[in-house]
Every structure is written in C-alpha cells, then in structure tokens.
Copies of this chain bind each other. A is one copy, B any other.
Amino acid sequence: MGKTNQGRFFEDYKVGDVLIHAVPRTVGQGERALYHALYPARHALYSSDAFAQTCGLPAAPLDDLIAFHTVFGKTVPDVSLNAVANLGYAEGRWLAPVWPGDTLTAQSEVIGVKQNSNGKTGVVWVRTTGRNQNGDAVLEYVRWVMVRKGNLDAPAPDTSVPDLTKVVSAENLVVPQGLTFANYDFALAGEAHRLRDYDIGEQINHVDGVTVEEAEHMMATRLWQNTAKVHFDTSARPDGTRLIYGGHVISMARALSFNGLANAQMVVGLNAGAHANPCLAGDTIRAWSEVLDKADTSAPGVGAIRLRLVATKGEADFSLRGDDGKYRPEVLLDLDYWALMPV
C-alpha cells in the first residue's frame, strides 16, 4: 500500500507547516443546482441572478456554504483522515464571493499542537485559506481536530495552543464589493423582517423538518470531494452505520432557517461551531436560531446579524444543554455565525 495516502498522524504535524491541499476544483451551475436539490435552500440572493443584480452584484454567487464545503473537503486527506473528532471552528471569514466558473484551491497552516495526556492522540489546530484561480482569498477559518498518533513512541511536541478570538468582530467582516440592500425587495425575498425587527436574545423555531437519507448525504459529501471513510463505507465503523458529514447538517439547518430568517442572506463570519452529536440517516433534522448580536456595516442598507444556529434531531425546543452542562443528546449542531441582512 506504499502508493496510497494513509493520512497524517499527530506526530506528523509541526507548528508552521504549510499543507498544500490537492485537487483544485472548478465549481459552477451544476454544483448550484445540486445544492438546491440536496438542501431546501431558498435565500433569494443565491437563488436568482436577477435578485442578486438588484443587490449590486453581477450575478448570484454560489452559496457561501458551497465555498466552505469545497475548501473543507480539500483539507480532509491532509487534516482529518485519521481524526478522532472535529473539535471546533473559529475566526472564519468569507472574503470574496465565489462565482460560477471559479476554481478553488486550499492550503492550511499548522498553528497549534497539543498531545493528550493519554499519549495516544493529540489536538492539531490549522488555519485554512481557500483561494480562487486569481489567487484571491475567498475564505479562511481555523479548525481543530483530535488526531491519532501513528507511532505511540513518538515524543510529545512542545504544546502550542493558538490564541483565538471568541467572536469575529463586526468591523472585520468583509462585505462583498458592490453589495447594497438599498433596493431590497422583501416580497421576493420571502419575509418582511429586517435587522431592526430582530431583538438580541430572540429565539426562532424554524418549524420545518427533513428526514435524511443515505444517498443524499453521500452525494453531498462526494460533491465536496470529502473522502473520509466513515461517511461512505458501512464497514468503517463497528456498528455498520455511516456517519453523516457535519457540514451536511450545517447546510440543512441553514436552509431550514430560511423560515424566519429569509433575509439573513449572506454568511460572512463563522465564530464557533460544535458538532454536538452524530447524525445518521433516518434522523429528522430541525433547527432553531437565537439572535446573539447585531451590527452595522459600511455598505448601503446592509447590516450584520450574529446568530446561534442549532440543529436537532428531535423537537426544537430551544434547549441546548442538560443539567450536566453537556449538549442534550438530540442536539446535532451548535453554530455561531454572522450573516448580512437589510437594516
């Protein structure tokens, strides 16, 4: 098996290493159509060229999460093939829209390592940047994963834990060039609620649910060229189940959040995220949101809303953690992000 990729182990990561991820990918109208087939996506700015043009853009960009999944997928063979757990996200920013026809590449810098006290695993922090064919950065984020050691006798590296901001500050969010909500058509967007109609602390039950199927999550995960075995191979886990890619849950919950947040058009910041429990085919995903913050931007009519997006596999009752402080078993996802919304 000398020519196949076995993935990196904990001892293979050194702070400062730069990983050039393989297989650049051109994304376009086909990926957009599949995104709409796989998720109940309805945010108008990604659904309609005409709507995007009234918002000052040349056409509808590809969904922000297509950019995220594509970049994330590229990192899997180098970052998480031997990962035990995907521990968190921080400092995520969308830096430029991705247009149909763009080719995305990704690279990651190792920014932290910490061996666990059991000596068998360690935590690796990477900062990943996605770029388009012109070399412009379109996305960056920090992710940390728990990775197995390949050689248990390898010495523990010096612990280096990066100092990460809890929340991307509103002034560091990047509003796409030309974006304006001055002529925003609320009727076509689907809801009348604008930024000033939302209160910090307000919670929204997104009402709808989707029961997920094996074929769907595998098609989605392959579309992003994510190769982690556990998503595809029933023999990869002892119980014969295929674990659904956490990003599938993110996209499903974000799409469901249209119902109550139809005007939270563009995702521009990712502050934090936890995949609280595994999601399996047959689960019915529901979602609720909580307004965490609001901010202005410099673009005409464009504000920013900070949201907690929670996906559950049971009823969505706004309850996140049990008495023990741990995520309740029906919670799948707890995501903290910024979106752009008409003020």
Q: Interface of A with B (CB < 8 Å)?
A: 1, 3-6, 20, 22-26, 28-34, 36-42, 44, 47-51, 60, 77, 101, 103, 105, 133, 187-191, 193, 197, 204-211, 213-216, 218-220, 222-223, 225, 227, 229, 232-236, 242, 259-262, 284
Contacts and interface: CB of A to CB of B under 8 A. Distances in A.
B190 A209 contact: no
B22 A190 contact: yes
B191 A3 contact: yes
Contacts of A103: 48-51
A32 B25 CA distance: 11
Q: How many copies does the complex hold?
A: 3
Contacts of A23: 42, 44, 47-48, 188-190
Nearest to A214: B213
B260 A3 contact: yes
A224 to B, nearest CB: 9
B233 A4 contact: no
A4 B259 contact: yes
B215 A232 contact: no
Residue with the greatest number of chain B CB neighbours at <10 A, chosen from A3, A60, A235, A236: A3
A58 to B, nearest CB: 13
A137 B326 CA distance: 55
A38 B261 CA distance: 30
B4 A220 contact: no
Given A40-B225, A105-B188, A260-B3, A33 B25 contact: no
Contacts of A209: 229, 232-233, 235-236
A236 B49 CA distance: 33
Given A4-B260, A20-B187, 7 more contacts: A3-B193, A5-B190, A22-B262, A36-B223, A210-B232, A211-B235, A213-B213
Contact of A26 (B1, B6, B49): B49
A105 B47 CA distance: 11
Contact of A216 (B38, B193, B205, B219): B219
24 contacts: A4-B205, A4-B207, A4-B259, A22-B42, A22-B187, A22-B191, A22-B262, A23-B48, A23-B189, A26-B47, A26-B49, A30-B32, A30-B33, A30-B34, A39-B222, A41-B222, A42-B227, A48-B103, A208-B229, A210-B233, A211-B214, A211-B233, A213-B214, A216-B218
